[in-house]
Homo-oligomer: A and B are copies of this chain.
Amino acid sequence: MSYAAAFVDLDGTVWRGRSAIPAANAGLRALRDAAVPIVFLTNNTGVRRDEVTSRLDAIGIDYEGEPVVTAAWATAAYLAEHRPDADVHVMGQDTVEAEIEDAGLTLSTEGRADVVVAGYDDRVDFARLTGTLRAFGPGTVFVATNRDRTTPEEDGPVPGANAFVSAIEGMVDQEPVVVGKPETRMADLAAAEVGADVHNCLMIGDNLETDVLMGERAGMDTALVCSGVSAREDVAASEIEPTYVVDDLGDVASLL
């Protein structure tokens, strides 16, 4: 089958921690040989887009200038489109603050804000939670970069963005607008980056509940790679049905 573009997840698909996944270059080469444009797509909010590309270089992944969509950048793009004049309070990584400032919005550091953005926050403490609670007033919009429950690290899981998003939800009883996977906003942004119709694109990722579910919701074909979070037995137990299940990104060649 021929695809208008492939959206390729990073963690668990292209790299794992600080190492390249061995078959990743073969898969990316197959996509390029088949003239399928690539967009890299990650729920990570701790890296800028140029840091993603330097990291690809550093670990030996061939990078040929393809667009990168991070949840931090996507959140800023979402706000620039929907709330360009907003004061934005961030409970998240400083990268998120930087993306929001780069998108032309104003950061709010004290008192009420028009928008509260929440995500993975390694600086969390009682004072930051209090400041975030007090940023809410009537009409404040609540936006989450993503809702990943946990983040895998080498010595075990650490809290994911959802710990912080849920903490806020638990205080203010207000559901956030979610930008990252499995919501489809990132798929739309990725499609726009390469001028493709999202329905003709293929989503490739290692996580059933983020990558594959987003693809399913966006009406895309999906390929689950079993080099990260989700395994073949998870597919059998899940209601989320990838179009393809392959061992790793290298096997994407057989789908083109």
A residues at B contact (CB < 8 Å): 121-126, 129-130, 133-134, 147, 149-150, 156-160, 162-173
Contacts and interface: CB of A to CB of B under 8 A. Distances in A.
A171 B167 contact: no
Contacts of A164: 167, 170
Given A171-B150, A173-B149, A124 B133 contact: no
Contacts of A123: 126
A163 B171 contact: yes
Copies of this chain, complex-wide, total 2
A170 to B, nearest CB: 3
B156 A170 contact: no
A239 to B, nearest CB: 15
Given A130-B157, A150-B171, A166-B166, 12 more contacts: A121-B126, A122-B126, A124-B129, A129-B158, A133-B150, A133-B163, A134-B156, A134-B157, A149-B171, A149-B172, A166-B167, A169-B170
Contact of A162 (B147, B165, B171): B171
Contacts of A134: 156-157
Closest 4 CB pairs of A and B: A166-B170, A167-B167, A162-B170, A166-B166
